[in-house]
Amino acid sequence: MADAHATTKFDIVILGGGSGGYAAALRAAQLGKSVALIEGDKLGGTCLHYGCIPTKALLHAAEVADEAREAESIGVLAQLNGIDAPKVNAYKDGVISRLYKGLQGLVSSRQVTVINGWGRLTGQNTIEVDGTTYTGDHIILATGSYSRTLPGLEIGGRVITSEAALGLDYVPSSAIILGGGVIGVEFASVWKSFGADVTIIEGLPHLVPNEDESLSKALERAYRKRGIKFNLGDRFSTVVQNDSGVTVTLESGKVFTADLLLVAVGRGPRTQDLGYEAQGITIDRGFVIVDETLRTGVGNIWAVGDIVPGLQLAHRGFQQGIYVAEQIAGLGPAPIVEANIPRVTYSNPEVASVGLTEAKAKELYGDVDTIEYNLGGNGKSQILGTQGFIKLVRASNGPVVGVHMIGARVGELIGESQLIVSWEAFPEDVAPLVHAHPTQNEALGEAFLALAGKPLHAHN
C-alpha cells in the first residue's frame, strides 16, 4: 500500500492489475517509464485467480480422472476410486499461489508502484484511490470483466457463476449449465469427468457458437459420445430453487432439474461507476470504444483487455498492454490484428482456432478453398486415442486465412497456426516445412500438403 508521502505523479497510471494492466506496467517500466499500477483485488486479475488458470487446473485433474478410468483399455491396471474435491482445490490453489508470487516478484523487481485499492477516473490524467489522487501523463484503463447474468436471473444459493463453481468443495451429482460458450463447455467437461450428470442449455443453434460450424458440430458429436447432454436453440425462461435443487424452464416449456445451475452466459465489461463517461469517454453497452491504436480519443487515456470490444481473452489483453506501453514510449508498434488472435477451448476434446471461420472468409473473399485432415491418419493421435480433425480455410488461390482444430491437445498446435495466418502464408509455403514424427504437429503439416495438392496420408 502506498503511504501518504509516496509519489503520486507518474508517467503512466494504470487502473487494473489483470493481464492487460500488468503487461503494460512491466513493459512500460522496462522502457524507463515511471508506473503506478492500481488494483483493488489481486495482481493477475480474473485470469490468474478466477478464470483461465484455475479452470485449466481443474481440466487437468479431469483429464487424469479420465485416464485412470480408461487405463485398463491400454493394459494399465489402474482404477478411479473417486474425486477428493478439497484436494483438487488445494492443487489448483497451489498453482495459482506459485504464479501469483512469481508475478508479485516480477512487478516489484521492475520498480512498478503497486497501489492496493479501488480506483476511479476523476480527470483526464487523474485517478483517485481511497482519497489519494494519482496523476499520470498517460492513463491506461484495464478494469477487466465480471460474470454476467440474464435480466431477472438472480445469482445466489444453488444458482452460481464460474467464480463460485471454482470454489466448490464437492462434485455436484447433477448440474445444468446455462451457456454453451467456452466457460460452459469447459465446466461441462470437468464435471462430467468428475462423475456428474451434466446438461448444457444454449439459446443459439450450436455449442461454442463463435467457432467454425464444423468444430461446433464435432464438439457436439464428442459430447453426445461422452454422455454430456445439451439443449440448443432454446432460451432460458425461469429458475426455481429449493433445498433439494433447481428447476429450470425454457421458453419452449421444457423443464430440467439438477443440484445446481451454473450461469455461464459470458462476461461483461467492468466499467460502471468508474468515472469513465464523466470524462467524455464513449461507452457502448458497457464497453470502452477505442480506435485501432487503443486510444479512447479523450486526452492521453487508453483502454486494453476485456473492456475493449472483441475477444475477451487474457493473451489479447496481455498483448494490448505491451502494445500501448510501446506506443506511449514512441516505438510505433504495428496495431494488433484481432482476427489473428488464437482461441482455445480446453474441453475434452480441445477446440483451437485462429483467423477466419469458413463463413466469415466467404463473406470477405467470396471464393474459398477448405480442407479437413482427419486425425485418424496421425500416429500420435492414434496413440492418444483422440479423434478430430484440422480444417484449413484459404482465400481461393490466396493465403490461408483460418486454421480450425478439434482433438486432444490441439491447443498446443495453435502457435504455428497463428504464424501461418499472421504471415499470410500460402499452402505451398508451409507444405515443405518438416514436422517431427510422431507428433500431432505432423497433422498440421499433412493438412498443408493436402491443401497444396499433394496429400500423402489422405485419399485424393
Consult the annotation and say whether 202 binds a ligand. yes
> How many CB atoms are closer than 10 A to CB 92?
20
CA–CA separation, 182 vs 219, rounded Å? 12
- Nearest C-alpha neighbor of 154 from the set 238, 231, 235, 259: 238
Let me know: does 35 contact 10? Beta carbons within 8 Å.
yes
Rg (CA), the chain: 23
Consult the annotation and say whether 56 binds a ligand. yes
Consult the annotation and say whether 129 binds a ligand. no
Consult the annotation and say whether 391 binds a ligand. no
> How many CB atoms are closer than 10 A to CB 117?
15
Grid coordinates representing 58? 481443474
CA–CA separation, 403 vs 354, rounded Å? 5
352 SS3 class: strand
CB-based burial label for 179 (10 Å; 0-12, 13-18, 19+): buried
Consult the annotation and say whether 266 binds a ligand. yes
Look up 5 and say whether it is catalytic. no
CA–CA separation, 32 vs 145, rounded Å? 29
Grid coordinates representing 223? 459430447
* Pairing state between β 400-407 and 350-355: antiparallel
Consult the annotation and say whether 186 binds a ligand. yes
Nearest-5° angle of CA 344, CA 21, CA 117? 125
Consult the annotation and say whether 292 binds a ligand. no
Consult the annotation and say whether 185 binds a ligand. yes
* Residue ranges in 255-313 assigned as alpha helix (H): none
CA–CA separation, 253 vs 191, rounded Å? 26
Which amino acid type is present at position 18?
G
Consult the annotation and say whether 67 binds a ligand. no
Consult the annotation and say whether 94 binds a ligand. no
Q: Which helix (H) or strand (E) covers residue 401, if one does?
A: strand 400-407
Let me know: does 24 contact 323? Beta carbons within 8 Å.
no
- Nearest C-alpha neighbor of 125 from the set 24, 36, 40: 36
CA–CA separation, 176 vs 201, rounded Å? 7
Grid coordinates representing 186? 469447459
Consult the annotation and say whether 144 binds a ligand. yes
Residue 197 phi/psi, 5-degree rounding, is -95, 120
Consult the annotation and say whether 145 binds a ligand. yes
Catalytic residue among 138, 437, 457, 459: 437
Annotated binding-site residue numbers: 56, 119, 143-145, 179-186, 202, 266, 306
- Binding site for NAD(+): residue ranges? 179-186, 202, 266
**What residues are labeled active site?**
437
Binding residues for FAD: 56, 119, 143-145, 306
